[in-house]
Structure formats: structure tokens, C-alpha cells
Structure 1
Amino acid sequence: MNTTTDAGHAVDAGRISSRGAVAAAVIGNWLEFFDFTVYGFFAVIIGRLFFPSADPTTSLLLSVATFAAGFITRPLGSVLLGVYADRKGRKAALSVTIMLMAVSTGLIAVTPTYAQIGLAAPLLIVFARLVQGFSQGGEFGAATSALLEQGGGSRRGFRASWQLATQGGAALMGAGVAAALSAALSKEALESWGWRVPFLIGVLIAPVGIFLRRRLADDALSAYAHGIERGVLHELFTGHLRTLVLITLAVMGGTVSTYILTFYMPTYAIHTLGMPMSLSMLVGVASGLVVLIMCPVFGALSDRIGSRKLPMLFGRGVLVLLLFPAFMLMARFPRISVIMPLTSLMLVFYSMGSASEFALMCESFPRRVRATGISIAYALSVCVFGGTAQLVATWLVRQTGSKLAPAGYVAACVVVSMIAVSLLRETANKPLD
């Protein structure tokens, strides 16, 4: 009896530890995308306060360019913090990254405006975004590898999908907070101090992440780092270069889609379609909810049908077909009753096309180079394509005069990513080494 009882307690303890490990792995991703979401919602205000110009579009371009600046340092962070993770362990590295995120988010929250301190104001905002990008570049590989590898060979697609689902949860939280502030505060109060509140909330998330990560056993996230040999970069670039390039291109379609459909859409609705800020933020709430719910569903589907590639190709193919009709309808009928369901529909198929992507990434590399390989591929793709997505979309609208320009850009990137996915090997039933 006692043996049975002890065994039952051991199983329960293991389940609690597993859930805690998942929460610890994804909370940094949650904090990052919460910050990205509120920055996107308040890009117009931030542009006016920190990048003043006689031309409102110029202010907005400078604001979204600052958003993009945070992606420049991702590749650097993936290398330097990867080395730190190799020497000190995943747990130590992930604790550092979340502290860096907290500091940079807090800096955005408290930096005085251009009118108060002049050129130092935009420089501090740019610096904060650079630190954020650096920290995220070092976090992704360890966190995503941990999600895949802890828990055995089954349900890998479901577990890895939570890394993407948390982006939806963070967008939902960010959009909800922004919408509540817009509804509760006057325009003057919102532009004076209200826009800073979500960034302060983001700072409060960080201690929770630090607490969770400190409770992890040292081998919970760092065991994978110890398997990385001194010549990991040499092996990666000589033995897995084709896979690295294809994964980078595969990620491109997903990252451009998410930054346009989730984070850029409120700015697009306000600046291009002329919708009120409070209504445009409801689009962000719906978008985050769809991604949060649907990604685990489609991640589990990839486990059940034994294919990562099939849901990705089908979901992205349907998304390409939906983009132009959806943007045409939104441009012609710029109402919340039109924009919200169309954006939600596109994000259902985006979720199908991207939920199993993170599992495919990890399963495509052997364990000894897995964290480094997916870190570099993800950092490069997000740096080159994701971080510039809002800037490119805003620039294309201005240059072409067409409200459909963002749809064309997303469609082109998704098509390239589908070609890359088709060239990768199927990995769903491949045992991990």
C-alpha cells in the first residue's frame, strides 16, 4: 500500500514539475510578445511623442522602424547567450534573458518624451528595443528545445505548439489591456501617461518568470546544452546547412504573417483605414484569442495524423487564397463587424500553418546542434523578415497608395515558406536522438 501511494505521489510530483517546466519555458516568450503587442497598439502615440514630425506618416515610420530595431540584435544574442548557456546551463541563461527583458520593458515605460529631454528620448527607446532583441535571441533555442524534449516522444507537436500559442495569449492580454485603457481614459490621459501602463505591467510579469526558472532543476533545461560540443557551429554549417536555410525560409512565412495579422493590424486599422483606436484594439483581442486556442489544437492534430508538413502546407495555402479578398473587404468596409471576423478567419489558417512548425524545426536537427540550429534560423528569419514586416507594410502602403499592399507582401512570403517546407523531411514519426 505504501509503495503504491509513494509511487502515486511521485507521478503527481512529476506532473507538477512538467507543467512548471512548460510555464518556465514559455513565460519569456509571453513577456516578449506582450510588449510587442502593446508597442504595436500604441505605435501611433509613441511616434508622436518620441519621433515628432510634421508628417504623421513619417512619425509612424520612425516608430515602427524602432520596433524593427529590436530584431537586429537577435542573431548576436543567439550566439553570445548561446555560449553562456553552454558554460553555465540553460537555467542560468534563461534567468538572464528574462531579467534583460524586464529592464528593457521598464525603460520604455519610464523614458521621458522628446519634448522633455530631446534626442535622448528616441535613443533610449531604440536602446531598449535592442536589449529586448538581444535577450530573445538567446532564449528561443533553449526554451523551445525543452518544450519538445521533456515529456518523451509522444505529443511533441502539442507541447512545442505552446511556444506559438503563448504569442496569442500575450497578444490577447496586451490587446485587452490596451483596449481597456482606451475605453477608460480620455485621449489626453492616454497620450500623457496611459500608454505607459501596459509596459509597467510587463515589468511585473518578469519576477514570475524569474521565480519559475529558479525553481527548475539545473538539468531541466541545461541538459541539452551539455550535449553541445565545442565545434557546434562548424558541425551545424558543414553538416546541416541545407536544413538551416530551409528552416529559416519556412519560419519566414509564419513570422511575417503573425507580425502583420496580429501586431500590425491595429496600426493598419487606425492609420490606413481610419478606425478609432478603441475599436481597432478589439481586433487584437480576437486575434490573440484565436491563436491561443487554435495552436494547441493544430499542434495536437499533427501528432494524431503523424505529419508536421501536411497541416502547414494546407493552412498556409488557404491563407494565401484568403489574403487579397479579406484585405479588399476590409478596405471597402472599414468596420469592426467586417475586420474582426476576417482577421480571425485568416488567423485560424495561420495557426494551422504554423502550430507544428516549432516541432518540425526541433525535429529537423540532431540533439547536439538542435538549440543552436533553431536559435540561428529563428533569429535570422525574425530579424530579416519579422522585425521589418510592419515597416515594409507601412512603406508599401505609402509608396503604392494601395491598401492591399500588406496582403501582397504576406502572400509572397508565405508562398516562399511553403516551398521551403515541401523540401524538408517529414519528422513527426522520427524518434528523437
Structure 2
Amino acid sequence: MSARNHSAARRRLLATAALAAAATLSFAGCTTSGTSDNQTLKVWWWENDDSALSTAWNTAIEIFEAEHPGVTVEFELKTYEQMQQSGQLILDSNEAPDVLEYLKGNATAGVVSNAGLLTDLTDVAEERGWDLENTAQDVGLYENGLMGSGNRYGVTNYGEYVSVWYNADAFAQHGLEAPTTLEELESVMQTFVDNGITPLALGSADYPGPHLLYALALAEMNDESLAAYQQFTGDVDWQAWEDAATRMADWVAKGYIAADSTGIPAQDAGNAFVAGQYPLFYSGTWWAGSFVNDISDVAYDQFLFPGNDLHPGSGGNLWVVPEKAKNKDLAYDFIETTLRPEVQNELGDLGGVPVAADTDAVTTDIGELTITRFDELLESTDGGLAWYPDWPVAGLNDILVQNVTDLVQGNTTPTQAVENLKTAYDQGKADAGF
């Protein structure tokens, strides 16, 4: 067993014990944090063991332990659903870890930062000289619970964006090239339909459906209308959303999207693309690592949604330090370690999208592809990263998924779907005090 595997195995044993302890934890009463022992760093995240993020973060743990003799890292594996549903209760308990991966956005990190449950990292970042100036780090800034400005409550060490993954062999077989406009994309999809192929893998029962609807709405939005939707700076352009819903329904009618995609989650849609059942898949860079491992018999590539200046994407989820953390200085050291070149470069080589890598040191094809495109989006002065459609208010994701499902099934009209979205948005905004 290698040193890395031995270390990972030891941490998994610690994680098992921690999970057992957590199972008996009651979050009913909350008191102040205990005394620091300076010998243990408790770290939580929810990424799978075989993911680029988990691999790179395990490297960070190894570096951290080597540079902190006598300090043990106790790692606990959580799930995304756990943190989404119980994160606030966990952070408000005596069992909160020292540092953990947490969900970015108004309805998640915004809520707990506004409740005083996260450590303000503004001064820490300045004192330690962390380079957090790029816009990917805006997801860690919150003011009165609203993301994008204010004090820093989180740091991300990776980014992500949504693009169109495509089967390059299938394109070549039909004499097609990557489209550069929406009209060209529709022409490409029509060619596949004419040859008996449903072109677009879409998991409408999950986030790919809302992401596609959002991309079609972004086609008619600019920075001003985007800010109105995401940050409540003005009137939302709901006509752009209705036009998007109309086009999406048209794509179903033309056979670009299968009507039965409404029962398919994101993972199954991605698996179908890997299997070659669909030549197109609109989804995020978080698939890059698995595509490298799982696609070996065909050539594949990606392009940004054609014709758009704005694209779903952002900095990644956050490292946060609970206000009740027992070893905050160690937590700061760990966050700093995840931003180091050796960790960032490994993340890039594995298909992740690091925010502080030495791009010349990333040598894999997938790493060069995703990092180059992400950097272009970060540096764009006309468009760029547009965050995600469910971020503005709590509960919006469920409304988006349900109405995209109904739209694809033909159970609702584009006008009705967008009216449902607007109603939920307006109510959520009012509930949040905006």
C-alpha cells in the first residue's frame, strides 16, 4: 500500500468513527464551542473518493500533516444532501468541524453567514496575503446574506462552468463542426434528427434541465438583466425566460430532446452520453474527470453554448470556518494549503478547474481545455460567468425542475411555466427581506 493509500485508509477509519458519533448527535440545543487542543483538525467534505477534488484535497491533507507534526486530521465524509438540509443545524452545534466544504449561494452560505454561524475571513485573507481578487472568489462574499459583495465568509479553490460536451466522432461522421451560433446548433441537431438520432442527452429530472433553460434565457440577457435576476438590482427580464421556455418546448417537438427525459437524473444522462447514445450533453466541468476515465473508444470535446456571452458557472463550493470551530488557525492553514501550486496543479491535471494553478504546469489535454476556457470566462469584459438559475432565493431549484419537467412533458405552456417560476422567485425574494 502506498503512503497516500495508507493515509487515505487511516482517514477513512477516522471518518467512520466520526460518522457513527454524528449519528447520535442531537442538534436541539446549541452552546459555545469547546477549548482548542491544537492537535486535531476536523475537515468535512462531500466529494467522492475518485473525484479530482477529493484526490487533490487528500494531497492537501498529506502536505498539511507533514508540515504540522503532532497534528492529526480527522476527515469526515458528508453528502451534498446532508449539508443542504442540515447545514445550519450542524454549524450551530458543538460538533461543528474546524473547516468544511459548504454550498455557495444566498439560500445556503448567505443564510448561515447572516446568522453569525461562519467566521468572517476578511481580515484573515488580508493578513495572510491570500490572492482572492479574481471573480471566481465572489461566491465567498456576503452582505446581509446576499452573495457577491461584502465581507468574506468563504474561499473556493476551484471553479466550474457549463458547456456543451459533444461526440467528435459522431460530428465527423455526419460532416458537422462545432457550432458558433444558436442557429448553427439547431442545424446540427436537425441533422442528427434527420438521421434518426436524438441529439441532446437531457436529465430533466435534475439540474441539466434548468441549466439548459437558463442558457436559452441568457441568450437574451446582458450584465444588467443578469444582475437584476441574481442580485435584485432591478426588474427581471421574464420575457427572456418565456422565450427560452418557448424554444425549449419547440426543441422537444422537433425531437432535439426526448420527451421521456423527464424521468432521467443527471447521472443517467451523463452515462448515456458516455455510452454514445447521444452526441450532445449540456453540463458542467465536474464531468471532465469521469469522462477521461470512462470514454476511451470515441473522441469527445466541448464548446460553450453558441452565441452566448453569459454562461452558467462560478467559483466552486466554499471552504468555510464555523464560528464555533475549535482550531481556527489550523483551519486557515488548511485552506491556504489547498491554494498551493502543487495541489492546484494536480487538480488541473485531473480535469478539475483550479483557480490558482500554474497553467504551464498542467499538462493533460483535459486540464488544458477546461482551465483555458475558464480563464477566458473570468477575464471576459463582455459576459462571463452567470452563476446558476436556482441561486437567488431558497427553494427555486425544485420549482425549476418541476416546471422544466412539465414543459418537456407538454403538461404546461411556456407562459405558465415562467409564471410559476416568477411567483416562486417573488415570494422567495420577499421572504428573504429584499
| Structure holding more strand per residue | 2
* Bigger radius of gyration: 2
Normalising by structure 2, we get a TM-score of 0.27
By percentage of residues, which structure has more helix?
1
TM-score normalized with structure 1 length: 0.27
